[in-house]
Each structure stands twice: as C-alpha cells, then as structure tokens.
Amino acid sequence: MKFELMKYKMPAAIGLMILLLVSWASGADVVSMWGGARGTIILKSDGTVWTWGSNVGGKLGIGDPTTNRVLTPVEVHGIGGVDYLNSISAIMGGEAHNVALRSDGTVWSWGQNFLGMLGDGTTNNAALPVQVGLGSVPPLTTVTKLGGRTYWNLAVKSDGSMWAWGMNSSGQMGNGTISNSVLTPVMVSNSQPGGVVNNPLQVSCGYTYGVALLTNGTVWTWGTGGNGELGNGTTGHSYTPVQVTGLSNVIATSSGWKHTLALKSDGTVWAWGKNLSGELGDGTTINQSNAVQVLNVSNIVAVSGGDYNSVALRADGTVWKWGLNDVGELGIGGADATPHPLAVQVTTDVFGAGFSNVVKIANRDYHNLALKADGSVWMWGANDQGQCGVGTTNDVYRPAPVTGMGARVALPLNVQAGAQPGAVDLSWSSAEGEYFAIEYTTNLANGFTTVLRTNVLATPPVNVVTLGTTNGNGYYRLKF
C-alpha cells in the first residue's frame, strides 16, 4: 500500500497555496492470491478484494452479471452494492464463484450457485456478495480459515470445527452423506471439539475430495479417490476423514483438481493422486494412491496445485513448475502437449529478464500467480478470459506483470491551482498504471473521512487529477 499525503490551504479570494508536504509511506499490498476457472482474485492489505477474468454468473462481484469478462483488475463491490467490500481477512477462489472471510468472522460469497456453493440456502447466482450460512442452524459465524477451489467450500470456526457446503456427489461434505448438493454449511464428521480432525492448521478442496492438515503434521482426506486422491493406499472412497498413510511433519498442503501437494518441514515436497500430465513431479505419469516425493526440488517454502500442473517456491525466491503445459502453464516460453513429470525453473519473464525475488505463489486452474518482494504481481498460463490481467485474451507463456499491480515505489505528489477557479490539480509520474483512490480530511486527528475518487486507473507517464477545493486547510491523500 502506498500513500502520498499533501496539506493545502485555499484562501477565499486567492489561488491555491501549498503549505506542507507532510509524509509518504509504503508497505505490503497484496497479501493473498487465488485463481478459479478462468478467473483471479486477490486480497490487499487494506482489506479490499480485486478480481479479473471471467464474469460468468457474476463471479467478479461487480454487481453486473451481463459483462462477460474483465481483462484488468476491478474492485469487488460491497454488500447490497453499497461502496466496496472491505474488512476482509481471507479469500478463496472457487471454480465458478469466490468467497471472502470478514474480520468479524462472517463469510461472504458471490458468483454461480447451481450446486449451492454460495451457501446462502438457494441456487440463485449472485453478482454481489451474499452471506454464507446466515439461515443455517447454527449460523456460520466465528470463522477463522477458508478452503476451496472447485464447486464446494470448507470453513474452520474458532472452536476448530470444519464446515462444508456445495457439491456433495462424491461425499465432499465429509459427514457420511452423498447428495447432489448441500445449500448451507454442515459440519465435517469428527471435527467437533475433541474430535480427531478438530482444529486443522489448513484445509483445502479438490474436485471430489477434501484435505485437512492438522497441527501435528498429519494429513487427513475424505471423499472419492478413484485416482488415489485420498492418499491412503486405495482408489476407493471414504465419506468421513481418513489419514494419509506414511506422511508426517507436513507444514502446508495444496489441492489441485485431482492431486494434492504436501510440503514437509525439511523443505521436500510430496504428492499423490492423478498423474496423467506428470503433475505429481515424480518422473512418471502413473497415478499414485500413496504420497511420493517430488523430484528436482529442495528448500521449498510454498506449494500450490492447479489443474494437472503444480508449482513450488524455493527459499531463494525462484519458482519451479511441473505437469501440464498445453497453454503455457510452466512459464518456459511456449506450450506443448507433452507431460512434464520433472520440475523445471521459471527462469525468464516476458521481457527477457531473470525471474526471481518471488515471495508468494498460487497455481489454480491453468494459470499461475506470483508476488515479488517489490509488491508486483506477475501471471502466466491460460488467458482466454483475461485471467492473467494483462489486458488481452492471449495465453501468456512467460511471467508478465498484472496491470495496476506494479512494484511499490515512492511517487512524489505535485499540486497546483487548477485552470478553473476553486480547483486543484494533483499530478505525479509513474512508470506503469496503478489503481488508486483519493481521500480527503480537514483534520488528520480524525483520519481520512472522505473518499473523493476510487478504483481509478492511473495513465502513465504523467497522471493529473483535478479536484474541487473548499476554503481553509485540507489534506489530500493519494492511496495506491
């Protein structure tokens, strides 16, 4: 998040007078990233949520279900269309919907709802956020964690219990039942306080199965595993949680479409499930019902599973990929139909520069996200609906910067009297477009109480915004 703060005084009959440049500050911006089917969602440090790509069923959350797609980031609108969604602490991107956790412990969702994945008790699509589990018994509140990715969702409450809703044709709810869909949250078996899978460290959703990582480093799964997705040595099903065999000391997991990745405390990566495209990274294309070690990677600090492809982040800030590459998922400069069962490094960006200094990754569907230490967001892979955020619908074969999600830099803010009486021109220079808001206050002790402009894309190299002023002292803040 970047700020430029200026104080002005407008005398009653004179022009604009600059009194003082008070301060500027910069800090972390993007804090979480997800992608679903042909779409992308990010959470910023100010609690706002941004989306781009496909808008089928209102998935972008902008209140307009008729817009097919958006090629660059837009801000998710607020509840009932009032202002913008705020106070969000976590996000999850589903296959056809998105979910957000507010700081008050409530959960909100929007997008398609044909399998009840919005959790509001209906199958009606929603182009604006609706509350999950408001009418369920008990209501879904005090949530601390989210899990998802496909057509169903998981939430963990403050008492450690797990709750699920959406598609249940493969027993995804984990409560011993099978049905087409579940429209409001139900508790996963044995996740109640004192239960064997209570208080998971992390939860995630594959297509037909769920995954819970416990604080003791063990992993538990449930659902249907015809490709070995349950990781318990079988290709059967279990509609309540079972332990993944032979796996311990796990610190993070990530479910792809039909495979799962597990990161151990020693920096090694293990995987199980479907392996048709080499997404398990074990050098073969054979499905595995027990966890196998991913080859060619070490000192890994994060993993993420997509649709038949996988990604890992090394401690040195480099990114490694394996699996499917039919639309450039591997980020190696081209696309092909050949399985890639061994990890390769993503070495070069779209400009030909070295690709490194990455601090966060996400691999969902057939596209990838990477956050660099400078705050910039980069993407590559499938882009048929603009999900890479680069302003086109051409697939992206090497990492490219997302429009409006550039590096954090200090931007000196200039001010002068506008051409019209009572107007002020704010101007600054920037190397690339960024989204910004302009805030105003007459008293810094009260904070910035008025938002004059929001969700506006800068137009480099020189950006000029004209605003009206009032008599007396005023402070304007340009917030990126």
**Do the strands 49-54 and 269-273 form a parallel or antiparallel pair, or are they unpaired?**
unpaired
Instruction: Tell whether 473 and 355 lie within a shared domain.
Output: no
Instruction: Tell whether 171 and 122 lie within a shared domain.
Output: yes
Instruction: Tell whether 174 and 87 lie within a shared domain.
Output: yes
What's the pLDDT score for residue 2? 40
* CATH number of the domain to which 437 belongs: 2.60.40
Instruction: Tell whether 315 and 451 lie within a shared domain.
Output: no
Residue with tokens 């005090």: 142
Instruction: Tell whether 257 and 162 lie within a shared domain.
Output: yes
DSSP conformational letter for 347: -
Instruction: Tell whether 156 and 72 lie within a shared domain.
Output: yes
For 360-419, the pLDDT digits (tens) are 999 989 999 999 999 999 999 999 999 999 999 999 999 999 998 888 766 666 777 777
Enumerate the H helices of 72-183 as residue ranges: none
Instruction: Tell whether 246 and 332 lie within a shared domain.
Output: yes
* CATH number of the domain to which 98 belongs: 2.130.10.30
Question: Residue 73 has which token pair?
Answer: 């980031």
DSSP-based three-state secondary structure for 445 = helix
Residue 111 structural domain: 30-401
**pLDDT, mean over the chain:** 89
Instruction: Tell whether 373 and 423 lie within a shared domain.
Output: no
Average pLDDT (226-230) is 98
Given 382, 401, 420, the domain boundary residue is 401
What's the pLDDT score for residue 27? 34
Q: Are the beta carbons of 189 and 242 closer than 8 angstroms?
A: no
Given 345, 369, 401, the domain boundary residue is 401
Question: Residue 474 has which token pair?
Answer: 């005023």
Alpha-carbon distance of 163 to 155, in angstroms, equals: 5
Instruction: Tell whether 429 and 310 lie within a shared domain.
Output: no
Of 131, 213, 215, 190, the C-alpha closest to 165 is 131
Given 380, 401, 422, the domain boundary residue is 401
Residue with tokens 């479910």: 255
For 331-352, the pLDDT digits (tens) are 999 999 999 999 999 999 999 9
DSSP-based three-state secondary structure for 473 = strand
Going 166 to 307 to 233 to 148, the CA torsion angle's sign is negative
Instruction: Tell whether 300 and 435 lie within a shared domain.
Output: no
For 181-205, the pLDDT digits (tens) are 999 999 999 999 999 999 999 999 9
Instruction: Tell whether 219 and 364 lie within a shared domain.
Output: yes
Question: Residue 308 has which token pair?
Answer: 């038949």
**CB crowding 171-184: b at 16 or more within 10 Å, else e:** bbbbbeeeeebbbb
What's the pLDDT score for residue 270? 98
Provide the domain count of the chain.
Answer: 2
Alpha-carbon distance of 274 to 84, in angstroms, equals: 40
- Does the pLDDT value for residue 25 go beyond 70? no
Q: What are phi and psi of 44, to 5 degrees?
A: -100, 165
For 122-169, the pLDDT digits (tens) are 999 999 999 999 988 899 999 999 999 899 999 999 999 999 999 999
Instruction: Tell whether 415 and 393 lie within a shared domain.
Output: no
pLDDT range class, residue 14, cuts 50, 70, 90: very low
Question: Residue 98 has which token pair?
Answer: 């998105």
Average pLDDT (316-333) is 98
Give the predicted TM-score (pTM) of the model: 0.85
